[in-house]
Each structure stands twice: as C-alpha cells, then as structure tokens.
Amino acid sequence: MLDIKFVRENPDIVRENIKKKFQDQKLVLVDEVLELDRRNREIKQEVEALRADRNRMSKQIGALMGQGKREEAEQVKAEVASFGAKIDALSAEEKEVEDALRQKMLVIPNIIDPSVPIGKDDSMNVEVERFGEPVVPDFPIPYHSEIMESFSGLDLDSARRVAGNGFYYLMGDIARLHSAVISYARDFMIDKGFTYVVPPFMIRSDVVTGVMSFAEMDAMMYKIEGEDLYLIGTSEHSMIGRFIDQILPEESLPLTLTSYSPCFRKEKGAHGLEERGVYRIHQFEKQEMIVVCKPEDSMIWYDKLWKYTVELFRSLDIPVRTLECCSGDLADLKVKSVDVEAWSPRQQKYFEVGSCSNLGDAQARRLKIRVNGADGKYLAHTLNNTVVAPPRMLIAFLENNLTAEGNIRIPKALQPYMGGKEMLIKKA
C-alpha cells in the first residue's frame, strides 16, 4: 500500500505505474482516492475547529455563571451541545471516509523499481543469467511421477480417495529424500547466519490483507469456516505477520530468518499435462527466507537472497537460471521480483522452483511495522525468497540425478541427510 501523501503529491507517477502494470481499470482509483483524501482532511479540520470553539465556549459558561448571567450561560450550553452532535456526525463520516480510502488504497499497486522490464504477462519475463550446464542425457527421462513410482515412492490414487485431486502420499526413499532436502535447506540457511523458525500455519484476516493483495488472497487462501483464520500459502505470511504493530529498534536490523512450514493453496484453474503428478498441488512443504531491513539495504538483500537459492541448487547438481519478472507479472505489493528456474532434462526447458521478491515498505505500511531510528520512526522493508519447495523441487532433483539404469545419484551435500547413501536403487 502506498503512502497517501505520495499519491497526493505524485498522482501522475501513480497513474503511470498502473499503466506499466497493464491495470488501466484501476486508473479511476487515483481520482477517487484523491477525493476521499480531500474530504478526510476537510472533516478533520472541521472537527478540530468545532472542538476549539466548544472548548472556548465551555470556558465562557463558567464565567457567565460566576457573573450571575444564568440565562446567557444556558444559551451557550445549548450551543455547545449542538457542537457535540455535529462533531459526532462528522466523526462517523470520517470513519466511513477513512475505511473507503483504505480499501481503495489497498488495491492500488506498489511503485515498481525502475529496473523492472515492462511487459503484460509472464511470457515477457526476461532471462538474466544461467548457472550450470543444462544436460540432455542420451536416454529417455520418464515423467517425474513414474520415476517416483519406480521407487514405490508415490501413491496418488490413495490420496485422491482420501483428499481428492491435488494431494499425494510420498513413501520410502522418496519421502526420505523429500525430508532430506528440507533439512539440508534449513541447515544451509542457518550456516548463512539466518535464524531458524517454525511459525503458525494459520493466520488472521488482518495479517492476510497485510501481506498480500486481494487477487492473490482469492486465488490462494483457504479459509477456516466459522473462524477468523486462514491456512498459510507460504510461511512468509505468518513470518512477516509476526511483526504486526511492532516498533523495531534500528540496531536489531536486519532480521534474517529462515522458516519451515507446510503450505496450502487453492491453485484455481485448469492446468496442462506437465502440471499433473506433484507439480501443482494443494499442499506442499517449503523452506523460506525472510528479511526485515532498513530501506537503503533492501536491494542489497534482494541480490543476496536469490543468489543463496542458486548456490543451494547448484550444490545439488541442478542447473538453474534466473528470470526477471516483468511489470505485468508482479503481484501488486512487489517492487521487484526474480524467479529461479531449474533445468528439466525431460522437457528440455527450465521451470519455476522459487521466487525472490522485494516488497519495499508495502507490507510494513499495511501491518504497521516501524523502525525506531536515530532520526525518528520509519517503515521497514520486507523481502522473501524460496529456499526450496518440494515436492516440486524433487522433480528437478530426480530428473537431473537420474542414471541410465533408473537409479538416483545422491550429491555429496545431501548424503549426510540420507544416511550416507550415494545412490538410490529403483525397485526391481
């Protein structure tokens, strides 16, 4: 959410930013916000003037009574009482105006960084850099669910009977591999100096609207019926929500945190053949990294975060590339975002396995996360990035470490988490 003062002083910049995000239907919001802001400030001035008059006249009542001018005092009392009614009416209008103003402000997108490429959708995202050599082996790579099933490691049919489509059972070596990747990612981030956290897996509505846009909320979140609780779509939601209404001492920054959680997502809409199996699912697990920092440090941390993900994937022998998200592909709260994509030898292309985002002060403004600095209070900046999110990440792992015999190599970095195993042998 933008600062209303910024919108008031820079309406053309806000309009141009909306156009860059190809959301022209939101242009009308700028004028609506400006009018609500004008009326809100007008009401405040009227209320302030009425209260000043009421205080002044209240003092007159005592003076008149002391002079024995009871009748005049009663007339002033009546006038003062009428001021109270006017103030109450204006205060009620003020609340309505402020509520309407906030709702519209929540929908206006954040100002994107000047470096963000302009494009309408993800087809116009821009490749930045590749890491590792993509390899296409001289033997066929089965679909990932077939690889998992060859190790007796996946049961989709039972999951459908128990929970419906979009769920899974992982078993045996594949389940162990899943847990090993999460544990390795946890320790990888701890070694980078991040504090490990296991957060709540449900959050209240005020946190939901603080960390994400309405469009994201509708597309992602599961609501707990009868309660003001939502299942998290990523641990970023509850991790940033932890600081709601907090004033952080400047010397405590940056806060560098890595969190584990299950994640729950609606994943609305129909998806293609390549998204069957465990690619696009309603429930998965994730290791995340979150940073709360000073504004001047947020772009420095942005570059550090995505590089950590690249380093982790390369340590597991998985080639990756980074893809700069264009303006139309950025969620409304984001200033800048880069996707990390892993190489799929089977598809002979890259696919998304993580995303790094700088949200500037958007979440902090919504959640009132402030920093107490030497020169006064200011809003923190927040960032988040995926470390790993299996089982999707397992697709890249399995394809890139599959042997011609159908076995799975275990990279050296992961072997301590797999009981020292160097290879997984498929079932006969």
* SS (HEC) of 339-380: EEEEEECCCCEEEEEEEEEECCCHHHHHHCCEEEECCEEEEC
| Per-chain mean pLDDT for the chain | 92
pTM over cut 0.85: yes
Residue 273 reports pLDDT greater than 50: no
Q: pLDDT tens for residues 90-108?
A: 999 999 999 999 999 999 9
| Rounded Cα distance, 320 and 342, in Å | 4
The answer to whether the beta carbons of residues 289 and 302 sit under 8 Å apart is: no
Q: pLDDT tens for residues 319-358?
A: 999 999 999 999 999 999 999 999 999 999 999 999 999 9
Q: With the CA atoms of 284, 187, 305 and 192 taken in that order, what torsion angle do they form, in degrees rounded to the nearest 10? A: 170
CB atoms within 10 A of CB 181: 25
Residues pairing with 287 in the sheet: 260, 388
Please give the share of the chain, as a percent, with pLDDT higher than 90.
81
> What pLDDT was estimated at residue 59?
67
Segment 174-183 shows an average pLDDT of 97
Domains and CATH numbers, the chain: 4-105 (1.10.287.40), 122-424 (3.30.930.10)
Quickly state the pLDDT bin for 428 (edges 50, 70, 90). Answer: low
Residue 31 reports pLDDT greater than 50: yes
Q: pLDDT tens for residues 243-256?
A: 999 999 999 999 99
| Rounded Cα distance, 193 and 311, in Å | 15
Segment 296-316 shows an average pLDDT of 97
| Rounded Cα distance, 221 and 207, in Å | 12
> What pLDDT was estimated at residue 130?
98
Quickly state the pLDDT bin for 77 (edges 50, 70, 90). Answer: low
Segment 163-170 shows an average pLDDT of 92
> What pLDDT was estimated at residue 86?
85
| Rounded Cα distance, 314 and 131, in Å | 8
Q: pLDDT tens for residues 34-50?
A: 999 999 999 999 988 88
Q: pLDDT tens for residues 201-248?
A: 999 999 999 998 877 787 789 999 999 999 999 999 999 999 999 999
> Which residue, among 83, 8, 92, 11, has the nearest Cα to 53 in the 3D structure?
83
Q: pLDDT tens for residues 349-397?
A: 999 999 999 999 999 999 999 999 999 999 999 999 999 999 889 999 9
